[in-house]
Amino acid sequence: MLLFLFFRIGTIILIANFFKRGTPKDDRVYSIIKNYPHLTYKSVQFKSNKSQILKGYIYWKKADKARKGIIVISHGFDQSHIDYINEINYFTNRGFYVMGFDNTGCGESEGESKIGIPQAVIDLDYALKFIEEKDDFKNTPILLFGVSWGGYAVCSLLSNPHRIAGVVSCAGFNSPHEMIKSFLIDSYGLGGRVISFYTNLFDRIRFGKLANITAIDGIKKSTIPILIMHSKDDDTVKLKVSIYEACKILNKPNVTLKIYDNKGHIVYLSDNAIRYYKQKNKEFEELARKYGGYKKIPKDVLDKFKKSIDRKLLNEIDQDIMDYIVKFFDKAIELAKAI
Protein backbone atom coordinates (compact mmCIF):
# COMPACT_ATOMS: atom_id res chain seq x y z
CA MET A 1 0.00 0.00 0.00
CA LEU A 2 2.77 2.40 0.95
CA LEU A 3 4.62 1.52 -2.25
CA PHE A 4 1.65 2.45 -4.42
CA LEU A 5 1.16 5.66 -2.42
CA PHE A 6 4.80 6.48 -3.08
CA PHE A 7 4.31 5.97 -6.83
CA ARG A 8 1.15 8.11 -6.83
CA ILE A 9 2.87 10.98 -5.02
CA GLY A 10 5.91 10.58 -7.22
CA THR A 11 3.74 10.72 -10.33
CA ILE A 12 2.06 13.95 -9.21
CA ILE A 13 5.46 15.56 -8.65
CA LEU A 14 6.73 14.20 -11.98
CA ILE A 15 3.74 15.55 -13.92
CA ALA A 16 4.06 18.95 -12.25
CA ASN A 17 7.73 19.18 -13.28
CA PHE A 18 7.34 17.60 -16.72
CA PHE A 19 4.50 19.88 -17.83
CA LYS A 20 5.59 23.08 -16.09
CA ARG A 21 5.93 26.18 -18.24
CA GLY A 22 8.80 25.26 -20.51
CA THR A 23 9.45 28.64 -22.13
CA PRO A 24 9.39 32.02 -20.41
CA LYS A 25 6.69 34.62 -20.99
CA ASP A 26 9.17 36.72 -22.91
CA ASP A 27 8.91 38.67 -26.12
CA ARG A 28 11.49 37.07 -28.38
CA VAL A 29 9.60 37.59 -31.63
CA TYR A 30 10.57 41.23 -32.12
CA SER A 31 14.25 40.62 -31.36
CA ILE A 32 14.44 37.64 -33.73
CA ILE A 33 12.26 38.88 -36.58
CA LYS A 34 14.53 41.86 -37.26
CA ASN A 35 16.98 39.38 -38.80
CA TYR A 36 14.36 38.61 -41.48
CA PRO A 37 13.70 42.01 -43.12
CA HIS A 38 11.54 40.60 -45.92
CA LEU A 39 8.99 39.14 -43.50
CA THR A 40 5.81 40.97 -42.61
CA TYR A 41 3.77 39.85 -39.61
CA LYS A 42 0.84 40.76 -37.41
CA SER A 43 0.07 39.54 -33.92
CA VAL A 44 -3.09 37.55 -33.21
CA GLN A 45 -4.69 36.08 -30.11
CA PHE A 46 -7.60 33.79 -29.33
CA LYS A 47 -9.06 31.82 -26.45
CA SER A 48 -8.53 28.11 -25.88
CA ASN A 49 -10.66 25.64 -23.90
CA LYS A 50 -10.33 27.19 -20.43
CA SER A 51 -10.50 30.77 -21.76
CA GLN A 52 -6.70 31.05 -21.55
CA ILE A 53 -5.38 33.46 -24.16
CA LEU A 54 -3.10 31.94 -26.80
CA LYS A 55 -0.89 34.33 -28.73
CA GLY A 56 0.67 33.98 -32.14
CA TYR A 57 1.56 35.71 -35.39
CA ILE A 58 0.63 35.50 -39.04
CA TYR A 59 3.60 35.91 -41.37
CA TRP A 60 3.95 36.61 -45.07
CA LYS A 61 6.54 37.93 -47.51
CA LYS A 62 6.35 41.69 -48.04
CA ALA A 63 6.57 41.76 -51.83
CA ASP A 64 4.43 38.69 -52.46
CA LYS A 65 0.75 39.41 -53.16
CA ALA A 66 -0.38 36.01 -54.47
CA ARG A 67 -0.34 33.48 -51.63
CA LYS A 68 -1.15 29.82 -52.14
CA GLY A 69 -2.45 28.93 -48.69
CA ILE A 70 -1.86 29.31 -44.97
CA ILE A 71 0.38 26.86 -43.12
CA VAL A 72 -0.42 26.50 -39.41
CA ILE A 73 2.57 25.34 -37.37
CA SER A 74 2.20 23.20 -34.24
CA HIS A 75 5.46 23.40 -32.27
CA GLY A 76 7.41 20.86 -30.25
CA PHE A 77 7.67 20.30 -26.51
CA ASP A 78 9.38 23.01 -24.42
CA GLN A 79 9.38 25.30 -27.45
CA SER A 80 7.38 28.16 -28.91
CA HIS A 81 6.52 28.94 -32.51
CA ILE A 82 9.42 31.39 -32.93
CA ASP A 83 11.83 28.44 -32.69
CA TYR A 84 10.61 27.66 -36.23
CA ILE A 85 11.50 31.03 -37.73
CA ASN A 86 13.70 29.47 -40.44
CA GLU A 87 10.84 27.20 -41.48
CA ILE A 88 8.44 30.15 -41.40
CA ASN A 89 10.82 32.18 -43.55
CA TYR A 90 11.18 29.31 -46.04
CA PHE A 91 7.43 28.78 -46.37
CA THR A 92 6.70 32.49 -46.85
CA ASN A 93 9.42 32.67 -49.52
CA ARG A 94 7.53 29.93 -51.34
CA GLY A 95 4.29 31.89 -51.41
CA PHE A 96 2.47 30.88 -48.23
CA TYR A 97 1.02 32.66 -45.27
CA VAL A 98 2.20 31.05 -42.03
CA MET A 99 0.45 31.12 -38.68
CA GLY A 100 2.63 30.32 -35.71
CA PHE A 101 1.14 30.30 -32.22
CA ASP A 102 2.29 29.23 -28.76
CA ASN A 103 0.51 26.40 -26.96
CA THR A 104 -0.88 26.79 -23.44
CA GLY A 105 1.99 27.35 -20.99
CA CYS A 106 4.46 28.14 -23.77
CA GLY A 107 6.04 31.32 -25.14
CA GLU A 108 3.74 34.34 -25.07
CA SER A 109 0.56 32.37 -24.34
CA GLU A 110 -1.12 32.18 -20.96
CA GLY A 111 -0.90 29.19 -18.64
CA GLU A 112 1.39 28.27 -15.78
CA SER A 113 1.85 24.78 -17.22
CA LYS A 114 1.47 22.87 -20.47
CA ILE A 115 -1.19 20.75 -18.66
CA GLY A 116 -0.56 17.57 -20.68
CA ILE A 117 0.25 16.18 -24.10
CA PRO A 118 -3.34 16.24 -25.46
CA GLN A 119 -3.48 19.99 -24.76
CA ALA A 120 -1.60 20.54 -28.04
CA VAL A 121 -4.55 19.03 -29.94
CA ILE A 122 -7.02 21.25 -28.06
CA ASP A 123 -4.99 24.40 -28.71
CA LEU A 124 -4.57 23.55 -32.40
CA ASP A 125 -8.32 22.97 -32.65
CA TYR A 126 -9.00 26.47 -31.33
CA ALA A 127 -6.32 27.95 -33.61
CA LEU A 128 -8.04 26.45 -36.66
CA LYS A 129 -11.45 27.70 -35.51
CA PHE A 130 -9.88 31.16 -35.27
CA ILE A 131 -8.48 30.96 -38.82
CA GLU A 132 -11.67 29.49 -40.28
CA GLU A 133 -13.72 32.34 -38.84
CA LYS A 134 -11.46 35.03 -40.34
CA ASP A 135 -12.86 36.58 -43.53
CA ASP A 136 -9.27 37.11 -44.75
CA PHE A 137 -8.81 33.34 -45.03
CA LYS A 138 -12.34 32.30 -45.98
CA ASN A 139 -11.26 30.76 -49.29
CA THR A 140 -7.63 30.08 -48.41
CA PRO A 141 -6.44 26.45 -48.25
CA ILE A 142 -5.32 25.50 -44.74
CA LEU A 143 -2.29 23.24 -44.28
CA LEU A 144 -0.80 21.81 -41.09
CA PHE A 145 2.89 21.40 -40.25
CA GLY A 146 3.83 19.78 -36.95
CA VAL A 147 7.06 18.62 -35.34
CA SER A 148 7.38 16.08 -32.48
CA TRP A 149 4.61 17.11 -30.03
CA GLY A 150 3.15 19.09 -32.91
CA GLY A 151 3.59 16.12 -35.25
CA TYR A 152 1.25 14.15 -32.99
CA ALA A 153 -1.18 17.07 -32.72
CA VAL A 154 -1.64 17.73 -36.46
CA CYS A 155 -2.59 14.08 -37.05
CA SER A 156 -4.74 13.55 -33.96
CA LEU A 157 -6.67 16.71 -34.85
CA LEU A 158 -7.93 15.03 -38.02
CA SER A 159 -10.55 13.36 -35.82
CA ASN A 160 -12.18 16.83 -35.67
CA PRO A 161 -14.04 18.49 -38.57
CA HIS A 162 -11.91 21.20 -40.20
CA ARG A 163 -11.32 22.27 -43.80
CA ILE A 164 -7.71 21.13 -43.97
CA ALA A 165 -6.10 20.56 -47.38
CA GLY A 166 -2.94 18.70 -46.31
CA VAL A 167 -0.78 17.67 -43.35
CA VAL A 168 2.96 17.19 -42.84
CA SER A 169 4.00 15.49 -39.58
CA CYS A 170 7.70 15.30 -38.68
CA ALA A 171 9.02 13.07 -35.87
CA GLY A 172 5.57 12.68 -34.36
CA PHE A 173 4.57 10.04 -31.81
CA ASN A 174 1.36 8.08 -32.19
CA SER A 175 0.06 7.75 -28.61
CA PRO A 176 0.64 10.16 -25.68
CA HIS A 177 0.53 7.24 -23.25
CA GLU A 178 3.05 5.13 -25.19
CA MET A 179 5.36 8.12 -25.65
CA ILE A 180 5.38 8.93 -21.92
CA LYS A 181 5.76 5.24 -21.01
CA SER A 182 8.77 4.93 -23.34
CA PHE A 183 10.36 8.00 -21.73
CA LEU A 184 9.66 6.77 -18.18
CA ILE A 185 11.02 3.26 -18.80
CA ASP A 186 14.18 4.74 -20.31
CA SER A 187 14.52 7.03 -17.29
CA TYR A 188 13.38 4.80 -14.39
CA GLY A 189 13.45 1.22 -15.65
CA LEU A 190 10.69 -1.09 -14.40
CA GLY A 191 9.48 1.61 -12.01
CA GLY A 192 8.64 3.65 -15.09
CA ARG A 193 5.97 1.13 -16.05
CA VAL A 194 4.19 1.64 -12.73
CA ILE A 195 4.48 5.42 -12.96
CA SER A 196 3.13 5.33 -16.54
CA PHE A 197 -0.03 3.65 -15.24
CA TYR A 198 -0.70 6.67 -13.04
CA THR A 199 0.25 9.23 -15.71
CA ASN A 200 -2.27 7.56 -18.02
CA LEU A 201 -4.88 7.66 -15.26
CA PHE A 202 -4.28 11.37 -14.62
CA ASP A 203 -4.58 12.09 -18.36
CA ARG A 204 -7.94 10.31 -18.47
CA ILE A 205 -9.12 12.45 -15.56
CA ARG A 206 -7.89 15.71 -17.10
CA PHE A 207 -8.71 15.11 -20.77
CA GLY A 208 -11.42 12.46 -20.81
CA LYS A 209 -11.82 10.67 -24.16
CA LEU A 210 -9.18 12.88 -25.79
CA ALA A 211 -6.50 11.13 -23.70
CA ASN A 212 -7.08 7.96 -25.72
CA ILE A 213 -7.13 9.53 -29.20
CA THR A 214 -4.01 8.69 -31.17
CA ALA A 215 -2.52 10.11 -34.34
CA ILE A 216 -3.61 6.96 -36.18
CA ASP A 217 -7.22 7.56 -35.10
CA GLY A 218 -7.15 10.88 -36.93
CA ILE A 219 -5.34 9.52 -39.97
CA LYS A 220 -7.84 6.68 -40.37
CA LYS A 221 -10.70 9.18 -40.54
CA SER A 222 -9.03 11.43 -43.10
CA THR A 223 -8.85 11.32 -46.90
CA ILE A 224 -6.63 14.39 -47.38
CA PRO A 225 -2.91 14.09 -48.33
CA ILE A 226 -0.79 13.30 -45.26
CA LEU A 227 3.02 13.13 -45.22
CA ILE A 228 4.67 11.30 -42.31
CA MET A 229 8.43 11.80 -41.88
CA HIS A 230 10.76 10.14 -39.38
CA SER A 231 14.39 9.10 -38.94
CA LYS A 232 15.57 5.71 -37.69
CA ASP A 233 18.12 7.31 -35.36
CA ASP A 234 15.63 9.64 -33.63
CA ASP A 235 16.43 9.21 -29.93
CA THR A 236 13.70 11.60 -28.76
CA VAL A 237 10.70 9.99 -30.42
CA LYS A 238 11.92 6.46 -30.96
CA LEU A 239 10.75 4.65 -34.06
CA LYS A 240 8.75 2.08 -32.06
CA VAL A 241 6.38 4.79 -30.72
CA SER A 242 6.31 6.89 -33.89
CA ILE A 243 3.41 7.68 -36.20
CA TYR A 244 5.55 6.29 -39.01
CA GLU A 245 5.71 2.85 -37.39
CA ALA A 246 1.97 2.84 -36.63
CA CYS A 247 1.18 3.84 -40.22
CA LYS A 248 3.09 0.92 -41.72
CA ILE A 249 0.12 -1.37 -41.16
CA LEU A 250 -2.24 1.01 -42.94
CA ASN A 251 -3.00 0.80 -46.63
CA LYS A 252 -4.22 4.31 -47.35
CA PRO A 253 -3.34 5.94 -50.69
CA ASN A 254 -3.56 9.43 -49.15
CA VAL A 255 -0.72 8.70 -46.70
CA THR A 256 2.91 9.10 -47.79
CA LEU A 257 5.67 7.68 -45.57
CA LYS A 258 9.27 8.96 -45.65
CA ILE A 259 11.96 7.33 -43.53
CA TYR A 260 15.57 8.50 -43.14
CA ASP A 261 18.59 6.73 -41.66
CA ASN A 262 20.51 9.49 -39.91
CA LYS A 263 18.52 12.74 -39.74
CA GLY A 264 17.99 12.69 -35.97
CA HIS A 265 14.90 14.22 -34.39
CA ILE A 266 14.36 17.06 -36.87
CA VAL A 267 14.50 15.37 -40.26
CA TYR A 268 14.57 18.56 -42.34
CA LEU A 269 17.70 20.03 -40.73
CA SER A 270 20.86 20.06 -42.84
CA ASP A 271 23.63 17.52 -42.27
CA ASN A 272 25.83 20.40 -41.07
CA ALA A 273 23.22 21.34 -38.47
CA ILE A 274 22.93 17.75 -37.27
CA ARG A 275 26.72 17.41 -36.88
CA TYR A 276 26.85 20.73 -35.04
CA TYR A 277 24.00 19.68 -32.72
CA LYS A 278 25.85 16.48 -31.82
CA GLN A 279 29.01 18.46 -31.15
CA LYS A 280 27.30 20.96 -28.82
CA ASN A 281 25.34 18.19 -27.11
CA LYS A 282 28.62 16.38 -26.40
CA GLU A 283 30.09 19.60 -24.96
CA PHE A 284 27.04 20.02 -22.72
CA GLU A 285 27.27 16.44 -21.46
CA GLU A 286 30.95 17.00 -20.65
CA LEU A 287 29.98 20.06 -18.59
CA ALA A 288 27.37 18.00 -16.76
CA ARG A 289 29.93 15.31 -15.93
CA LYS A 290 32.45 17.91 -14.79
CA TYR A 291 30.03 19.55 -12.33
CA GLY A 292 28.16 16.40 -11.27
CA GLY A 293 24.89 16.90 -13.13
CA TYR A 294 23.02 19.25 -15.45
CA LYS A 295 21.42 21.21 -12.62
CA LYS A 296 24.78 21.76 -10.91
CA ILE A 297 26.40 23.60 -13.81
CA PRO A 298 27.18 27.16 -12.55
CA LYS A 299 25.00 29.85 -14.10
CA ASP A 300 27.93 31.80 -15.56
CA VAL A 301 29.30 28.61 -17.18
CA LEU A 302 25.86 27.73 -18.55
CA ASP A 303 25.35 31.28 -19.88
CA LYS A 304 28.75 31.15 -21.60
CA PHE A 305 27.85 27.82 -23.20
CA LYS A 306 24.52 29.18 -24.45
CA LYS A 307 26.21 32.25 -25.95
CA SER A 308 28.67 29.98 -27.78
CA ILE A 309 25.88 28.32 -29.75
CA ASP A 310 25.65 29.35 -33.39
CA ARG A 311 21.85 29.28 -33.67
CA LYS A 312 21.89 29.99 -37.38
CA LEU A 313 23.95 26.86 -37.99
CA LEU A 314 22.01 24.87 -35.38
CA ASN A 315 18.76 25.55 -37.26
CA GLU A 316 20.08 25.37 -40.82
CA ILE A 317 17.52 23.57 -42.97
CA ASP A 318 17.98 20.92 -45.62
CA GLN A 319 16.86 22.69 -48.80
CA ASP A 320 16.00 19.47 -50.65
CA ILE A 321 13.76 18.13 -47.88
CA MET A 322 12.00 21.47 -47.36
CA ASP A 323 11.46 21.68 -51.11
CA TYR A 324 9.90 18.21 -50.99
CA ILE A 325 7.54 19.37 -48.22
CA VAL A 326 6.52 22.48 -50.18
CA LYS A 327 5.83 20.43 -53.31
CA PHE A 328 3.71 18.07 -51.21
CA PHE A 329 1.68 21.04 -49.96
CA ASP A 330 1.35 22.39 -53.53
CA LYS A 331 -0.08 19.07 -54.72
CA ALA A 332 -2.45 18.93 -51.74
CA ILE A 333 -3.81 22.36 -52.67
CA GLU A 334 -4.28 21.31 -56.31
CA LEU A 335 -6.17 18.23 -55.18
CA ALA A 336 -8.38 20.25 -52.81
CA LYS A 337 -9.28 22.68 -55.59
CA ALA A 338 -10.16 19.80 -57.93
CA ILE A 339 -12.69 18.33 -55.52
DSSP letters along 87-131, please?
Answer: HHHHHHHTT-EEEEEPPTTSTTS--SB---TTHHHHHHHHHHHHH
Please name the amino acid found at residue 294: Y
pLDDT single digits (tens) 64-100? 666 899 999 999 988 889 889 999 999 999 999 999 9
Percent of the chain with pLDDT over 90: 58
pLDDT of residue 3: 41
CA angle 64/60/309 to nearest 5° reads 125
At 2, is the pLDDT very low, low, confident or very high (cuts 50, 70, 90)?
very low
pLDDT of residue 26: 55
Residue 219 confidence (pLDDT) above 90 = yes
Task: Give the global pTM.
Answer: 0.89
Whether the Cβ atoms of residue 227 and residue 165 lie closer than 8 Å to each other: no
> What is the arithmetic mean of pLDDT over 189-209?
71
Q: What's the fold here for domain 24-180+213-267+333-338?
A: Rossmann fold (3.40.50)
Residue 190 confidence (pLDDT) above 70 = no
DSSP 313-338: HHT-B-HHHHHHHHHHHHHHHHHHHH
> What is the arithmetic mean of pLDDT over 9-26?
56
Average pLDDT over the chain reads 87
> What is the arithmetic mean of pLDDT over 250-273?
94
